[in-house]
Amino acid sequence: MTVCLRMLSGMGMTKQDNLFSDPKDSVADFSFDAMVADVFPDMLRRSIPGYENIISMLGVLARGYAKNNTCVYDLGCSLGAATLSVHRHTRDLSLQHICVDNSAAMIQRCQSKLKRHMPASSVELICDDIQNIQIKNASVVLLNFTLQFLPPKTRLSLLETIYQGLEEGGVLILSEKLIFSDQGVNQQFIDWHHEFKRANGYSDLEISQKRMAIENVMIPDTLATHKQRLAEAGFSQTQQWFQAFNFSSLVALK
């Protein structure tokens, strides 16, 4: 396995993701372990169309809703990229950042990164399932590509908890991979996404082994399902502000 270091904007040195480059006899379910955490910035940048764009716009969007002396939750924070983006745009406010992830490998790396990049901020890091977290006094909640990893039956309940914990005028920003109800359309989007990954240097073997690893772990919904679920949870208004191939982001207002 070759190790390659790359410089990513604002992220420092990061290892190249080649976790699925060697043929495997059987592909285990994907987990957010130390090996994944070590290559994570490269993995997301080359796998999620528009990832860097979404990250930088999260800060721009959050700026409009973050209120002094409230909490900003980053649920499924991984290495804290979304929290850092919000921080860049809200330095003048007094905010309590609460970053949650159930991967110890992610939380450890997130902690040292946030200490380095936002040392003067109030940040609480929690290694736990986001379903166990009490949300309170929140002006901004980020679910950036995390809801899709929860069992579908539990998703509404999490959104209800978030809605209850948001202050009036607060916002949930929800980014997700999408599926499409028309099979032909769905396949078209999958093909475009795979072409995007090929263009970013992933081989067909890497693409198919990663797909096998993730298919039982990450279960995407349609845009209509998301909108309906958000409405059911109480959100009065939902806007889709971003889509690149089958990856999208929504703003839901309380």
- Residues linked to residue 5 through DSSP beta bridges, in sequence order: 15
SS3 of residue 135 by DSSP = coil
Residue sitting closest to ligand GEK (CB): 76
Q: Which is nearer to ligand GEK, 77 or 233 (CB)?
A: 77
Distance, CA of 219 to CA of 214 (rounded, Å):
9
Q: How far apart are CB 174 and ligand GEK at their closest, in Å?
A: 11
User: Binding of ligand GEK at residue 82 (CB under 6 A)?
Assistant: yes
User: Binding of ligand GEK at residue 146 (CB under 6 A)?
Assistant: yes
CB 214 within 8 A of CB 30: yes
Distance, CA of 117 to CA of 40 (rounded, Å):
18
Distance, CA of 25 to CA of 33 (rounded, Å):
20
Q: How far apart are CB 84 and ligand GEK at their closest, in Å?
A: 9
What's the chain's length in residues? Answer: 254
Among the listed residues 150, 166, 178, 233, the single contact to ligand GEK using CB under 6 A: 150
Q: Which is nearer to ligand GEK, 86 or 230 (CB)?
A: 86
Q: Which of residues 28-47 bind ligand GEK (CB under 6 A)?
A: 32, 44
Distance, CA of 77 to CA of 81 (rounded, Å):
7
Backbone angles phi, psi at 105, to 5 degrees: -60, -40
User: Binding of ligand GEK at residue 245 (CB under 6 A)?
Assistant: no
Q: How far apart are CB 101 and ligand GEK at their closest, in Å?
A: 4
Binding site for ligand GEK (CB under 6 A): 32, 44, 76-78, 81-82, 100-103, 106, 129-130, 144-146, 149-150
